[in-house]
Every structure is written in C-alpha cells, then in structure tokens.
C-alpha cells in the first residue's frame, strides 16, 4: 500500500477550485481529468457543514506533492492526525512509527481515483494508484478527517501491491452519503479474539470504515456509506498476509 506495508503513494498536481455539491452529477477538470460528483446528496442537516469532495482531493494531491518535495515519510508525518494508523503489516500508530523511519532516496508516487464523503464532510475516503521507483505498482486507501480549522488530515492509510497497475480514470469519481433518514451504526465485521480492529465513523454517522487485522497480518478493509435508507458498501478490500 501507499505507506502501509511500506507501500507507496504518488505525485500530484495543483490544488482544486472549490466545488459545491449540486443535486445532480457534476464533472470538473482536475489536472487534465475531471471530478465526477454523484448526487443527489439529500437534505442538508441543520447547522452541519456540507460535503466537499474537491477539498479532499486537493488534500490528497497536496500530500502526494509534499512527498516528492520533502520526502515520503516526512509527508506522511506532517499530514497525519495524532492517532492515525498504518499497517506494517500489523497496525501501528503512524506518527510513532514514522519517527524511526528515514525518507527513501526517491518517494513513491500516487494519484487519487475515487473519493467518498460523509454528508457533513467530516470524513472522507480516497482510493487510488501508486508507483514505486523500482517499478512495482499497487493501490492505496486513505481515510481523511476534517479538522477544526477545516483542513483534512489522514487517520488511516493502507493498501497493497498489484500485478498490474490500476487503470487511470478519465474522471475522479466522487460521491457523498445521503443526508436523509436516521442512520444507525452498520453491522461490524466479524472478528476473532486475537484479531485487531480499527474503525471510525463520521460525526453525522453517514460514513464508516473498519479494518480487521488477523494475527498473520492479513486484513479486511470495508467502507460503508449511508444512502438515506440503508447502508451501502463503498469498498471492501482483502489484503493477504505478508
């Protein structure tokens, strides 16, 4: 993965212009590609900010650019929350683990392909492709949390190698959870007594992620988003041991 299991992320471009979610799909150019916003987002909750996937993509692009300019692990440390977790392959507190790492001579590169956001924008998940200097390729999944000043920092990062690179999309697909209804917590993944579990939920309860790590380091990652009446899987990933 990008950082997890020492997997990398990637080079990016300039920051996006801000978007406001509309009630229908919207396409916006992003460094030669377009950001596709899927709607409708549903009714707005009183007193809660709205989702802004473009700002999350901008954070991801800035993260990738920082890795090229300042060093791979420096970028990870500077953009992580205090309790951010990564996998090496067992889960570790990212900032503690990163303090002991020297930046590689050449940082991994990565590009976001998709973003899912909670209705209120307090949490979002990105997925995309990475490329290492040695020619190996893979994917990453990153959970972002909005901070008090409105900026995003990552709270979970994981991924895996791939035999073939992910196809680059013409559009960065972006979608927000529906604001309608009263979301109840979705069912948790089944876990054994020796498994380690990491999980998080958006402040408005419309987006949830969970990682179950087996003793051998294999793990399952699932992200669910609320559609106004039921939970839908945004992604479900399995990472093998080793």
Identify the pLDDT of residue 242.
77
Q: Residues 3-62: pLDDT tens digits?
A: 544 444 433 333 333 333 333 233 333 333 344 444 444 434 444 478 999 999 999 999
Q: Name the strands in the sheet holding 33-38, side by side, starting at the edge strand that comes first in the sequence.
A: 26-30, 33-38, 171-176, 109-117, 123-131, 137-146, 152-162, 80-87, 91-93
Share of the chain above pLDDT 70, in %: 80
Domains and CATH numbers, the chain: 4-185 (3.10.450.50)
Predicted confidence band of residue 2 (pLDDT cuts 50, 70, 90): low
Predicted confidence band of residue 203 (pLDDT cuts 50, 70, 90): very high
Reading phi first (left if > 0) and then psi (alpha if -120 to 50, else beta), residue 143 is in beta
Q: Residues 176-195: pLDDT tens digits?
A: 999 999 999 888 998 999 99
Beta bridge partner(s), residue 175 = 38, 116
Vertex 208, ends 58 and 12: CA angle to 5°? 20
Identify the pLDDT of residue 33.
37
Please state the pTM of the whole predicted model: 0.84
Identify the pLDDT of residue 23.
30
């Amino acid at each position: 993965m990008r950082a997890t299991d020492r997997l990398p992320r990637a080079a990016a471009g300039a920051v996006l212009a801000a978007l406001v979610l509309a009630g229908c799909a919207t396409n916006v150019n992003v460094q030669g590609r377009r950001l596709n916003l899927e709607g409708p987002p549903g009714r707005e909750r009183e007193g809660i900010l709205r989702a802004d996937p473009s700002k999350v993509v901008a954070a991801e692009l800035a993260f990738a650019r920082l890795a090229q300019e300042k060093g791979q692990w420096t970028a990870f440390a500077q953009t992580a929350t205090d309790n951010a977790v990564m996998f090496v392959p067992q889960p570790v507190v990212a900032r503690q683990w990163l303090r002991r790492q020297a930046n590689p001579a050449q940082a991994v590169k990565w590009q976001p392909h998709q973003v899912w956001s909670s209705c209120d924008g307090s949490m979002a998940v990105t997925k995309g492709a990475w490329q290492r200097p040695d020619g190996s390729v893979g994917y990453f999944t990153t959970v972002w949390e909005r901070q008090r000043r409105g900026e995003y920092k990552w709270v979970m990062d994981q991924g895996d190698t791939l035999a073939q690179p992910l196809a680059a999309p013409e559009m960065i697909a972006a979608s927000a959870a529906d604001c309608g209804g009263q979301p109840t917590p979705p069912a948790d993944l089944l876990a054994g007594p020796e498994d380690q579990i990491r999980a998080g939920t958006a402040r408005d309860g419309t987006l949830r992620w969970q990682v179950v790590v087996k003793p051998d380091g294999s793990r399952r990652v699932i992200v669910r988003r609320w559609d106004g009446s039921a939970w839908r899987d945004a992604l479900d990933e399995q990472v093998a041991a080793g």
